[in-house]
Amino acid sequence: MSIAATGQPVAVERLSKRFGEVVALDDVSFEVRAGEFLALLGPSGSGKSTVLMSIAGFVRPDAGRIRIGGRVIDDLPPHRRDIGMVFQRYALFPHLSVAENLAYPLRRRGIGAAEIARRVEEVLALVRLGGYGARGVDQISGGQQQRVAIARALIFRPAVLLMDEPMSALDRKLRQHMQMELKLLHREVGATIVLVTHDQEEALSMADRVAVLDEGRLRQIGVPEELYREPADAFVAGFIGQANFLPYDAPSARVAGFASPLGDALPAGGAPHCARPAIGVRPEDVTLHPPETPGTEPCRVVEAAFGGSTQSVLVAVGGHRLTARMPAGSRLWRAGEEAGLRFRPASCRVFDLPAHQPSSWSNGDED
């Protein structure tokens, strides 16, 4: 495949950008290795799109620089950057056919008609759209439009492929299918990909590494397992997967309001010093037992939801509420039942809660 192995490394160095009073990016730095698939993950307004637009050259950062393949590209206009981009709504040219859309970047590079025809056929085959070249872009389905957009961004063998929420226009089923397709395509082509998304599931399942942004700052960057198991702060813990947060009383080494100490639930080495310490614990690390089981904290089941392979149980304990998730096979809990609660060994992490976060909360279901 002639499109293969064109990926270049990308280095984002100390990027900052303000839009009027709003700080969009605050000293953001990270690197993408050649051929790596990196996801920029964050809620809306986190600055992830600004990073993407800065790499593409549509936003000029106030400070910082961007290198591609070691070369600083800050002064290059967008059309000279050689970066493929898949836009959120694809931005396929409505006045051109599928093949003309694909040929567009090659024409701009002065490539001959025969070579263009050959490469258009090749890329159509790559995204399994052979025979669709003559169609208008409004005569194909949403999933097909997305594949055309990806093919158009890859056909000129760009150094980097940027994708701005490419799955957001697709329905859930098609989205899961396309995520798998895109992973396969990435392996086949070997391009460096930077994908922007607000969907943590999408980021975790597709990317080699994930960079989490919030309020213009890079919170953490790492492989998906690392972000899930060792979140750097309460925001990452809450944004990637689900987490319960409970106020932590450092002197007595227990959750405020709990009768029993946390014991081996805390990782070795104890807790760092924080202004508003809280422990974070994942629902699957919370287990429920019959009432008055030794070593458990007495609690009451507020609501229970059966979810096929698992059951989610909302319990009230020591003036707090938290969610536990267990295999559905064990024992189904009912609202109103009394129970005993325990945390798995080394499952709790101590975080410093930001001022705007309530001291006891459990973040909602994903999506």
Partner 1 sequence: MGALGLGQALSGGMAGRRHAGGGVAAMLAPALALLILGYAAPMGAIAWTSLHRGGTMGLAAYAEVLGSPTFFRILGGTLQTAAVVTLLCVVLGYPFAYLVATRGRRHAGLLLALVAVPYLTSILIRSYAWIAILGGNGLVNRTLLALALIDEPLPLVFNAMGSYIGMVHVLLPMVVLPIYAAMRRIDPALPLAARNLGASSPAVFATVYLPLSAPGLAAGGVLVFLSALGFYITPALLGAPNDYLLAQAIEVRVAVLAEFDTAAAQACVLLALVGGLMLLFRRRIAGLAEGEDIVAAPERTRAGAGLRRRTLGAMLQRAPRLRALLAALADRMGACSGPALWTFGLLLLAFLLAPIVVVALVAFSSAPYLAFPPPGLSLRWVEAFLDDRRWLEAAAFSLAASLVAAATAVAVATPLAFALARRRFRGRQFLWLLAVSPMIVPHIVIGLGLFFTFVTVGLNGHPASFWIAYTVTGIPYVVIIMLSALRRLDVDLERAAASLGAHPLATLRTVTLPLLAVAIVSAFLFAFLTAFDDLVIALFLSSPRGTTLAMRMWEDIRLEISPKTAVVGVLEIAVLVATMLGTALVQRLRRTGYRAA
**Interface ranges with partner 1 (CB under 8 A):** 56-60, 77-85, 87-89, 91-95, 97, 104-105, 108-109, 134-136, 138-139, 152-153, 156, 162
Residue nearer to partner 1 on the CB measure, 52 or 243 = 52
C-beta of 134: minimal distance to partner 1 in Å?
A: 5
DSSP letter string, 184-242: HHHHHH--EEEEEES-HHHHHHH-SEEEEEETTEEEEEE-HHHHHHS-SSHHHHHHSS-
How far apart are the C-alpha atoms of 23 and 47, rounded to whole Å?
Answer: 9
Residue nearer to partner 1 on the CB measure, 92 or 348 = 92
Which residues contact residue 22 at a Cβ distance below 8 angstroms, ignoring those fewer than 6 apart? Answer: none
Residue nearer to partner 1 on the CB measure, 80 or 128 = 80
User: Which phi-psi region, left, alpha or beta, contains residue 186 (left: φ > 0; alpha: ψ -120 to 50)?
Assistant: alpha
Is 282 in contact with 241 (CB distance < 8 Å)? yes
Exposed / middle / buried, residue 100 (Cβ in 10 Å: 0-12, 13-18, 19+): middle
Residue nearer to partner 1 on the CB measure, 133 or 280 = 133
C-beta of 127: minimal distance to partner 1 in Å?
A: 16
Q: How many residues does the chain have?
A: 367
- Closest C-alpha to 59, from 70, 69, 46, 47: 47
Is 68 in contact with 8 (CB distance < 8 Å)? yes
C-beta of 335: minimal distance to partner 1 in Å?
A: 32
Instruction: Compute the Cα dihedral for 362, 176, 56, 14 and give only its sign.
Output: positive
Residue nearer to partner 1 on the CB measure, 194 or 240 = 194
C-beta of 105: minimal distance to partner 1 in Å?
A: 4
Residues β-bridged to residue 65: 13
Residues β-bridged to residue 145: none
C-beta of 110: minimal distance to partner 1 in Å?
A: 10
Find the angle CA(185)-CA(186)-CA(187) to the nearest 5 degrees. Answer: 90
Residue nearer to partner 1 on the CB measure, 45 or 136 = 136
Is 236 in contact with 219 (CB distance < 8 Å)? yes
Rg (CA), the chain: 24
Residue nearer to partner 1 on the CB measure, 148 or 210 = 148
Residue nearer to partner 1 on the CB measure, 93 or 306 = 93
C-beta of 59: minimal distance to partner 1 in Å?
A: 7
C-beta of 86: minimal distance to partner 1 in Å?
A: 9
C-beta of 89: minimal distance to partner 1 in Å?
A: 7
